[in-house]
């Protein structure tokens, strides 16, 4: 159970309260700090999966806890972004993304009970959704106009925020699209 990949996943869960605390610290670089913590969590997500395969350390506990860690971090970030921006075009997609994660988790649990979880396994489209979601969340958390480190990167604020918004809306579209795809795939079992 305490394999290296599982330890990395648990580390990601420990990062959630740190992420929230840093985001709300009354200092000028709080958004950049929260961005850095979220980035570290995102990297650890890719790393634990890679190491589980590479070291042949896949486990039932890892298969359970990895998506839980991902969903907790993403939900926390989406809630914080929605509260911070307070615009319907940020809040509504955040609610849609969180609702989709709950819906798909329940759908996968149901399909597992029928021995058919592979029908709703993560698709390539789902991976694109996750990538767009992570990139958008990092940009929206950072809000570099509030942070000095942007000057160090010599990168125009407007371009970064445009990219963050674009990825956010792409992630929202892919969120709905993948939910429909998974639901249609499971429909024969659901209607039975």
Question: Is 70 noted as a catalytic residue in this protein?
Answer: yes
Q: Of residues 45, 66, 70, 147, which has the active-site annotation?
A: 70
Exposed/middle/buried for residue 37 (C-beta within 10 Å: 0-12, 13-18, 19+): buried
- Cα(2)–Cα(180) distance, integer angstroms: 36
Instruction: Quote the CA–CA distance of 60 and 149 in Å, as a whole number.
Output: 41
Spatial neighbors of 65 by CB under 8 A, at least 6 apart, are 6, 9, 10, 13
CA dihedral 167, 68, 55, 18 (to 10 degrees): 80
Q: What residues are annotated to the active site? A: 70
């Amino acid at each position: 159970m305490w394999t290296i990949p599982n330890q990395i996943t648990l580390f990601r869960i420990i990062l959630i309260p740190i992420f929230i605390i840093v985001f709300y610290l009354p200092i000028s670089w709080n958004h950049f700090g929260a961005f850095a913590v979220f980035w570290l969590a995102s990297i650890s997500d890719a790393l634990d999966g890679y190491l589980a395969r590479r070291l042949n350390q896949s486990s039932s506990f890892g298969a359970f806890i990895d998506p839980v860690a991902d969903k907790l971090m993403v939900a926390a970030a989406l809630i914080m972004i929605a509260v911070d921006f307070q615009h319907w075009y940020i809040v509504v997609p955040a609610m849609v993304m969180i609702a989709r994660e709950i819906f798909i988790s329940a759908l996968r649990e149901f399909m597992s009970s029928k021995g058919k979880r592979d029908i709703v396994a993560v698709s390539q489209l789902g991976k694109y959704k996750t990538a767009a979601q992570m990139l958008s969340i990092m940009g929206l958390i950072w809000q570099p106009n509030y942070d000095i480190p942007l000057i160090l990167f010599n990168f125009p604020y407007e371009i970064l925020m445009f990219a963050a918004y674009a990825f956010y809306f792409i992630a929202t579209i892919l969120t709905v699209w993948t939910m429909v795809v998974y639901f249609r795939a499971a429909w024969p079992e659901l209607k039975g």
